[in-house]
Structure 1
Amino acid sequence: MKTVDLRSDTVTQPTPAMREAMMRAPLGDDVFGDDPTVNALQERIAAMLGKEAALFVPTGTQGNLIATMTHCQRGDEYIVGQFAHTYRWEGGGAAVLGSVQPQPLEHQGDGSLALKDIEAAIKPDDAHFARSRLLCLENTIGGKVLPMVYMAQAAELVRRRGLATHLDGARLFNASVKLGVPARDIAKHFDSVSVCFSKGLGAPVGSALVGPRDFIKQAHRARKMLGGGMRQAGVLAAAALHALEHHIDRLADDHALAQRLADGLQGITGVTVEPPQTNMVFVDVAGEKAQTLLPHLKSCGVLATGLYRLRFVTHLDVDAAGIDHAIRSFRDHFNA
């Protein structure tokens, strides 16, 4: 049986139709702003998210860093969750490269940040403190979907206090599908949004940063500074355009497969499965067999990660047969 790679939704291969779109893409030089496919992608994603403009960037990490550096200046501060990607998983870029201080907060059980904690973290206008300038949220966060009401409340709170808002929407379309609302209805609560094409949408490379036209003009300068200006980038933008046209609605299939996996792992002694909301299944394993589980799964052709918790991620290169094989392999380890 072929390898069932559940490490991340970033491991997908371009579909044949996506490869064909990449081959046929008209190209220019995006640094000069004349790659027609990049321009089409930027216009498309900006319109889909209800923003004035967009910037195609190589990675979500760069998109988030550009957003932070555009919203904030040296000595400013952004409020963020302890387990948010922009704080924990992006190498400290905002602090190291942007001289922007993070103010991390504890998450609630649903992945949100308590409104009272956000308000308490906003610093007074005093020379002793970094300037609170930005709230960064993430949706989905650890596979969880932030509720619409919560996002509206958080945005209203910080705007009243003079802060901007940025959404790390790497898996924004997973949230959109789960909530049953257009992605623009989520994006409207934020001044800027980053969205990733190379996760659930299945493109090989690329993200976009969207926001007001003047903001994106400033972000373009930051992208150049960070080495994100690409040339005939339309080859990659074509894959993202194809993904936007063909791979959004099918995210519901990934969510269903995650639920299938979670259901199949129920009832094993020493194994606790967190009910999935989207395409991520988190599993806690107690006892002696925890240390040998990942090697056993790998020997069966099933790949997962266990950086801080055991995580399985479904995507367009995984089907029901693969999920069932993963369940059998997992159970065999505990039945041996």
Structure 2
Amino acid sequence: MPDFRSDTVTQPTPAMREAMFKAPLGDDVFADDPSVNALQDHAAELLGFEAALFAPSGTQTNLIALWGHCQRGDEAIVGQSWHTYRWEAGGMAVLGSIQPQPVETQPDGSLRVADIAAAIKPDDPHFARTRLVVLENTTGGQVLPPAYIAEVAQLARSRGLAMHLDGARMFNAATANAARHGTDVYEEARALCSHFDSASLCLSKGLGAPVGSLVLGSRDFIRQARRTRKILGGGMRQAGVLAAAGHYALQHHVRRLAEDHARLDRLAQGLADANRSHPVLQGKITVLPWQTNILFTDLHADVAPAFTAWLAQHGVRVTSSLYGGATRLRWVTHLDVSEADVTAALDCVARFERQG
């Protein structure tokens, strides 16, 4: 059953399960779980930070980082459609007493630098104090260009602001940059992170671990982050059984992300061909630009109910939502989507075409 709903649905591979089974364990709340410590040290060195902290989820690592940069009544600049603002249940305001200042997200996933600059508040008691700029990379599968990130970082530094990266799928961005530049994905990841004071990295999405995320920053920042994690209920005991999976993923599942990108490209090309060539779907399915492992397609209202029902009936799992009068489907390739799954999905589309 091809499952394109999200890269969060992946199952641990046999080799990852073996690493989990053999992981030496301690008590991470006492900071003496050797597998957790090994993961944190490895990730920090890999990405150019002084330290890292393992936590249950990306929502928590983002909140830990936001809380580390901002005090009560401070403000963080975020994207209107980004996870930290729209998809994390308002935690930055509810739990952190941090005011989000959303900025409109552009079609390419970026925020206009001029809009970020305009959102920064003057030092006036009438306003929340702007402390932080948050970027998300990838965002909706789109990659923020390195030159753009450097420009935003320069603005932030000039205004005395910190920078946080919501890098849930940061290695997908690094994979795309490496393919474009002919460079190494780990080098691209380190370069990408170099502009940020802190970063959040999900291990349970494209990297394929079952649970967990990392927050990375300076030693002092992570020392405070450990306290914040405890407040949020994220302190785990023998967490090494989970950390071992994340450690394995960082070592063995980063370079294979290029396979996910290639499979999405094939899927997107096949859906675009269907839009061009068949009387039923011709002009009815808009394939939006794609760069990594996430694709959005918009269905015309007169085919959307039948097409989505057909996919579900034949076991092709996608997520759908209404967007601007169209039905938007999200397709995500990942560790558990094979070449055969892509073939099966495209065959299902073809058979829907023949059904009319």
What range describes the TM-score normalised by the shorter chain of this pair? Answer: over 0.9
Number of equivalent positions: 334
Alpha-carbon distance, 1:198 to partner = 0.3
Letter in 2 for 1:329: C
Q: Deviations over 1:182-202 (max 9, x none)?
A: 211000000000000000000
1:202 aligns with 2:208: yes
Alpha-carbon distance, 1:256 to partner = 0.3
1:316 corresponding residue in structure 2: 335
Alpha-carbon distance, 1:296 to partner = 1.7
Alpha-carbon distance, 1:332 to partner = 2.9
2:345 corresponding residue in structure 1: 326
SS at match of 2:121: coil
1:7 aligns with 2:13: no
2:240 corresponding residue in structure 1: 234
1:178 corresponding residue in structure 2: 176
Q: Deviations over 1:139-188 (max 9, x none)?
A: 00000000000001101101111111000000011111110152110000
TM-score norm. by structure 1 comes to: 0.98
1:94 corresponding residue in structure 2: 92
Tell whether the 8 Å contact from 1:197 to 1:205 is kept in structure 2 after alignment.
yes
1:271 corresponding residue in structure 2: 285
CA spacing shift, 1:247–1:162, aligned 2, 3 Å: same
Distance 1:290 1:317 in 2: 26
SS at match of 2:347: helix
1:281 corresponding residue in structure 2: 295
2:279 corresponding residue in structure 1: none
Distance 2:96 2:259 in 1: 39
Alpha-carbon distance, 1:298 to partner = 1.5
Letter in 2 for 1:296: W
2:325 corresponding residue in structure 1: none
1:128 corresponding residue in structure 2: 126
Q: Deviations over 1:264-306 (max 9, x none)?
A: 0014221110131000111011132212332321111110001
Alpha-carbon distance, 1:334 to partner = 4.0
SS at match of 1:79: strand
SS at match of 2:308: helix
Distance 2:149 2:67 in 1: 22
SS at match of 2:286: strand
Q: Pairwise mapping of residues 40-189 of structure 1 onto structure 2 (< 5 A)?
A: 40-180=38-178, 181=185, 182=187, 183-189=189-195
Q: Deviations over 1:73-119 (max 9, x none)?
A: 11111101111111111111101111101111111221010000000
Farther-moved stretch of structure 1 (287-296 vs 98-107): 287-296
1:217 corresponding residue in structure 2: 223
2:309 corresponding residue in structure 1: 295
Tell whether the 8 Å contact from 1:265 to 1:331 is kept in structure 2 after alignment.
no
Question: RMSD of aligned C-alpha atoms?
Answer: 1.0
Tell whether the 8 Å contact from 1:259 to 1:275 is kept in structure 2 after alignment.
no
Tell whether the 8 Å contact from 1:202 to 1:316 is kept in structure 2 after alignment.
yes
Percent identical pairs in the alignment equals 62
Distance 2:192 2:296 in 1: 25
Which runs of no fewer than 5 residues in structure 1 stay unpaired? none
Distance 1:129 1:334 in 2: 57
Letter in 1 for 2:298: D
Distance 1:236 1:164 in 2: 30
Tell whether the 8 Å contact from 1:289 to 1:334 is kept in structure 2 after alignment.
no
Farther-moved stretch of structure 1 (315-324 vs 22-31): 315-324
